[in-house]
Amino acid sequence: MIGKICVVTGASSGIGRVTALELARKGATVVLIGRSRERTEASRAAIIAQSGNQQVECILADFSALATVRAAAAELLGRYPRLDVLVNNAGVYAEGGQRSADGYELTFAVNHLAPFLLTNLLLDALKAAGAARVVSVSSVAHTSARGAFDERVGLTSGGFWAYGESKLANILFTYELARRLEGSGVTANCLHPGVVRTNLAVGSKGLFTFFFGLMRPLMISPEQGAQTSIYLASSPEVAGVSGSYFTNCQAHASSPVSHDRALQARLWALSERLVAGR
């Protein structure tokens, strides 16, 4: 990975931080995107200390506000004419009633609309690398989703329903993106990291959060959960592989609804409308 430029979102903690650390250990220049200046800078300092790689940078963006996503993309493009890897890792689980700065349901806004916008804004830089990779962190929770995407999807009540739909959206987006990128040299894949001990639901309330807390001792570590992201971002074994869903560094079948091409195209068009002008 020496000479490669890798961007990792949600890199201030959890599997994002571990992913960034391992890419830095492999010699890549790593750009951390995080919401909190204090936490993101602390992550940068720790990664430099642990990896011995000084080429670790930070860019701030709050994925609940699409204007900051645009600003982060502009800052990235100002620094780098090409990007080799984009890991769309940032995610949130929000209970009902929470809205993004743009007025959308918070989970759908952060987990899908923000990475959709960021990826599209960075496509020219990814294509300029010649053999770039887009890696999006989804979840097995997508199997609970029905793909009920319409103009109201950004205004749903939140909770586990919205989380599952957002994770299905990650996969639908990946499959549609992979088709659109055919012949460009850029690949797009997504993954389930496992049930990981992270702060995803910290601060939320409700039944899902209650059970999330109960299950915490049985969950895998962020180090274990990051392995598939690292694999897809860096392994020569998946060079040229695109449009696939991975678990435990192996390709797996995603839910039947995720392969609905009409739904993929409809979600793409809807997402374009929802992020336009934001």
Residue 112, SS3 per DSSP: helix
The residues carrying an active-site annotation are 163
Supply angle C-alpha 35, 76, 2, rounded to 5. Answer: 105
Residue with tokens 């995603």: 254
CA 51, CA 35: separation in Å to the nearest integer? 23
| Long-range contacts of 218-222, Cβ-Cβ distance < 8 Å, separation of 24 or more | 219/194, 219/195, 220/194, 220/195, 220/196, 221/196, 221/197, 222/13, 222/14, 222/15, 222/17, 222/18, 222/196, 222/197, 222/198
